[in-house]
Structure 1
Amino acid sequence: MEWLTGPFEVAFVQRALWGGVLVSAICALAGTWVVLRGMAFLGDAMSHGLLPGVAIAALLGGNLLVGAVVSAAVMTAGVTVLGRGPRLSQDTRIGLLFVGMLSLGVIVVSRSQSFAVDLTGILFGDVLAVREQDLFLLGVALLVALAVSLLGHRAFLALTFDPRKAATLGLRPRLAHAALLGLLALAIVASFHIVGTLLVLGLLIAPPAAALPWARGVRGVMALAAAIGMTATFLGLLLSWHLSTAAGATVSALAVGLFFLSHLASGIRGRRRARRSAHGRAPGTPAAGVASLSGPGPRPGAAATGRPRDH
């Protein structure tokens, strides 16, 4: 029992655990929409796009969070503006913005000869350095994320599953998309100090993707994703303490590992259900839902598209 509880008797590990719990909740709210809308590349681009702002803030001795917020605002505005152009695909525009921001960050870093330690923290995070004021800011960020998620839930839902209907219902899909980008930026800014700009997708994407086969609706995905993220945080901190590994990377790796375990279990469940269905058919009757025999099949309460319903 000492092996399990001992690390969390230390004050800075306790703060790291609380920081990871808050970040997991924030990422669950934003990451669910990212997964459902297939915006993983956008999330990756925005997380890497934080580098120039954070690097400039570190170079000038300023607040890294302020630098991250400025970079996130630039990325959000850039994606919104470039998204209106009809000639290039969205991935092309996002990719060019991503490379431009990342290149600018590397140029800023190259101007300093003593940036190695700071850069490591920026790229990979330093969850064990979470302070009490960081926890306060994360708490505020979670409240903001909850408010945006509650107020925009109907518009986000319509935008995700039927953008044309969103416009027909007067839900202002462009404004909803901008608000969703803001929610994504908030989650990334809140997370980069925990797992860094390179590993932020581990908490943003993996828990919602792991929750997707088991949840009945969007809110269910969010709740289960938060629980999975918190589990990855606890286990990651525990293992990093005993194995002397990088805490942020361990948390991110466990989140991805839980995703693979979830989908492996979902596949096994689907095959068992398919076999039970096949054995339970009357002789000579055709299989109901032949497609289900070749894969895990739709989740309970899921639409034909594989996305969960919500009411």
Structure 2
Amino acid sequence: MEWLLVPFEVSFVQRALMAGVLVSAVCAVVGTWVVLRGMAFIGDAMSHGMLPGVAIASLTGVNLLIGAAISAGVMALGVTALGRSRRLSEDTTIGLLFVGMLASGVIIVSHSRSFAVDLTGFLFGDVLAVGSGDLVGLAITLLVVGAVALVGHRSFTALTFDVRKAHTLGLRPRLANAVLLGLVTLTIVASFRVVGTLLVFGLLIAPAAAALFWSRRITTIMLIAALLGIAATVGGLLVSWHWGTAAGATIAAGAVLLFFLSAFLSFVRQRFRSLTPEIESSR
């Protein structure tokens, strides 16, 4: 058991674990709605669409979070504005903005001498370099996301399953959609500097998607997703410590692996249930 405990006796690994737990909790809440509403593509676009703002902030010496927030805000406004067009589908507008923002960011970053390092840091972050200030920021983000999700739970549910009923009940689905988009933006902006866009997107989608195999209740899905995210964090940090792999990428890979494991176990469970009546009837 020593191999299991030794890594977490080191202070920077402890901070990385705390960051992973906080990010897992935030992503579980927001990611559940993202998966249920089929917003995975927009989540990916938002996470990578921040690159221009981050690049400009890095080159000008401005706080990276400010640059990321501005860029993500532009992306969100663009998606909302172009989404009103009846000639273009939503995925088309998101795809165009995604490619345009990402290409612009790469062009800007390419002017930096540390191009490869900057781009790698943006994608993968550095979870092992988490400081106390980063943990405070993530904790505040969790409180805000939790409060908004609690207040808007009824509106989000109606928006996800029956938009017409949401209109009938006066739940203002357009506003709910805008708030939900804001939560996705907040989650990505608050987390990317610590764990990178790859890990944020991985923990946003994979645990919530895996949780769908085990429950249909929204709150239960969020709880299972959080636990799966934490499991991916612990496992990823252990593998990273003993095998010398990149911590952020390993955690993200662990989250995806847990999704496929959940899908397999769910398939086995369904097959067992379907075979049980046949076995009983043959006796």
Question: What TM-score, normalized by structure 1, do the two folds share?
Answer: 0.88
Correspondence 1:35 to 2:24 = no
Secondary structure of residue in 2 paired with 1:86: coil
Question: Whole-Å Cα distance in 1 between the matches of residues 198 and 52 of structure 2?
Answer: 13
Correspondence 1:4 to 2:4 = yes
Return the structure number with greater helix share. Answer: 2
Question: 2:158·2:165 contact (CA, 8 Å) conserved in 1?
Answer: yes
Correspondence 1:109 to 2:109 = yes
Q: Equivalent residue for 1:118?
A: 118
Higher normalized contact order (CA 8 Å, seq sep 6+, divided by chain length): 2
- What do you get for the CA RMSD once the two structures are aligned? 1.4
Q: Equivalent residue for 1:66?
A: 66
Question: 1:202·1:255 contact (CA, 8 Å) conserved in 2?
Answer: yes
* Residue identity opposite 1:60 in structure 2: T
Deviations along 1:106-141, one digit per CA (max 9) or x if unpaired, are 111112123332221111111011110000000000
* Residue identity opposite 1:189 in structure 2: V
* Residue identity opposite 1:77 in structure 2: L
Question: 1:195·1:252 contact (CA, 8 Å) conserved in 2?
Answer: no
Question: Whole-Å Cα distance in 2 between the matches of residues 201 and 134 of structure 1?
Answer: 18
Q: Equivalent residue for 1:89?
A: 89
Q: Equivalent residue for 1:250?
A: 250
Q: Equivalent residue for 2:202?
A: 202
Displacement, 1:265?
A: 0.3
Secondary structure of residue in 1 paired with 2:112: coil
Question: What TM-score, normalized by structure 2, do the two folds share?
Answer: 0.97
* Residue identity opposite 1:27 in structure 2: C
Question: Whole-Å Cα distance in 2 between the matches of residues 200 and 35 of structure 1?
Answer: 14
Secondary structure of residue in 2 paired with 1:165: helix
Correspondence 1:136 to 2:133 = no
Displacement, 1:69?
A: 1.3
Q: Tell which deviates more after alignment, 58-67 or 176-185.
A: 58-67
Question: 2:27·2:200 contact (CA, 8 Å) conserved in 1?
Answer: no
Q: Equivalent residue for 1:271?
A: 271
Structure 1: tracts of 5 or more residues without a match = 284-311
Question: 1:194·1:248 contact (CA, 8 Å) conserved in 2?
Answer: no
Question: Whole-Å Cα distance in 1 between the matches of residues 42 and 96 of structure 2?
Answer: 11
Q: Paired residues, what number?
A: 283
Percent identity at matched positions?
67
Q: Equivalent residue for 1:149?
A: 149
Secondary structure of residue in 2 paired with 1:62: coil
Structure 2: tracts of 5 or more residues without a match = none
Question: 1:52·1:105 contact (CA, 8 Å) conserved in 2?
Answer: yes
